[in-house]
Amino acid sequence: MDVEIRRLEARDTVVIAAAFTAIGWNKPVAQYERYLREQEQGGRVVLVALVAGAFAGYLCVVWQPNYPPFRERGIPEIQDFNVLPQFRRKGIGSRLMESAERLATESSPIVGIGVGMTADYGAAQRLYVLRGYVPDGLGLVSGNKPLVYGELVTIDDDLVLHFTKSVAD
């Protein structure tokens, strides 16, 4: 399969937003325009996967994430990892992850990632464990705030368990 992984370019913003609109996801052009600005300012890198020239997926490497334990330790975080359904289970996600992990070694021997706790994230949960990611040991967070025993929370996309992986050679 002809897969190209490259950084986000201005011409991608409309294409990516349209691809997600077509599958019923709310990922507006403004989101990718913001990502592009942040990439140009050095705060994130957006890696885009193309299959035979067609958009297939992307992820972001954020150098100073909002999750305090990663930010304080200088651990870059892989965020907003998405592969279009028709391109899943073809190794594209793994190619994106490999590229992100290589990129992360420029600033840290460890890379982090957070994953949601609902079944919607089941494939991602499995992928991260199979790629050698382990929980960071700090438990669940909601809105980047640690949860305490007995606390009631809403089960949504903000309920996350963070993982890390050593990417040093």
Q: Which pair of structure tokens corresponds to residue 42?
A: 């050095």
Q: Give the pLDDT confidence score for residue 169 in this predicted structure.
A: 65
pLDDT digits over 78-93, tens only? 999 999 989 988 989 9
Rounded to two decimals, what is the model's pTM? 0.92
- What number does CATH give the domain 3-166? 3.40.630.30
pLDDT digits over 44-99, tens only? 999 999 999 999 999 999 999 999 999 999 999 999 999 998 998 898 999 999 99
Sign of torsion, CA 109 88 19 122?
Answer: negative
pLDDT digits over 7-33, tens only? 999 999 999 999 999 998 989 999 999
Mean pLDDT over 121-147 rounds to 93
* Phi, psi for 93 (deg, rounded to 5): -60, -40
Name the residue ranges covered by the structural domains of the chain: 3-166
- DSSP, collapsed to helix, strand or coil, labels residue 95 as helix
Q: Which pair of structure tokens corresponds to residue 102?
A: 């290589």
What is the rounded CA–CA span in Å between residue 74 and residue 84? 30
Mean residue pLDDT across the chain: 94
